[in-house]
Amino acid sequence: MSEERSIARHPVPDARNPWVIDTQDLGRRPGASREVVRTIRAETAVGFPDVIEIPVGASYRLRLLLESVVEGVLVSGSVTAPTTAQCSRCLDAIDDEVSVEVTELFAYPDSTTEATTEEDEVSHLVDDLVDMEPLVRDAIVLALPQVPLCRPDCPGLCPDCGLKWVDLEPDHGHEKIDPRWAALVERFSASDSNGSAPEDSK
Contacting residues toward Zn ion, per CB under 5 A: 87, 89-90, 92, 150, 154, 158, 160-161
Q: In the complex with Zn ion, which residue's Cβ is closer, 32 or 165?
A: 165
Contact 172, 158 (CB under 8 A): yes
DSSP-derived letter for residue 17 is: S
Q: Are strands 93-107 and 123-124 parallel, antiparallel or unpaired?
A: parallel
- Residue 83, Cβ density class (10 Å: 0-12 exposed, 13-18 middle, ≥19 buried): buried
Q: What is the separation of C-alpha 145 from the centre of its chain, rounded to a whole number of angstroms?
A: 9
Give the length of the chain. 202
C-beta of 97: minimal distance to Zn ion in Å?
A: 18
Contact 104, 64 (CB under 8 A): no
C-beta of 50: minimal distance to Zn ion in Å?
A: 15
C-beta of 184: minimal distance to Zn ion in Å?
A: 18
Q: In the complex with Zn ion, which residue's Cβ is closer, 57 or 159?
A: 159
Cα separation, 169 vs 175, in Å, equals: 15
C-beta of 75: minimal distance to Zn ion in Å?
A: 37
Q: In the complex with Zn ion, which residue's Cβ is closer, 14 or 167?
A: 167
C-beta of 187: minimal distance to Zn ion in Å?
A: 20
Q: In the complex with Zn ion, which residue's Cβ is closer, 51 or 158?
A: 158
Q: What is the separation of C-alpha 148 from the centre of its chain, rounded to a whole number of angstroms?
A: 14
Q: In the complex with Zn ion, which residue's Cβ is closer, 9 or 151?
A: 151
Q: In the complex with Zn ion, which residue's Cβ is closer, 107 or 150?
A: 150
Amino acid at 158: C
C-beta of 94: minimal distance to Zn ion in Å?
A: 8
Contact 102, 136 (CB under 8 A): yes
What is the dihedral angle through the alpha carbons of 150, 156, 157, 158, rounded to the nearest 10 degrees?
A: -160
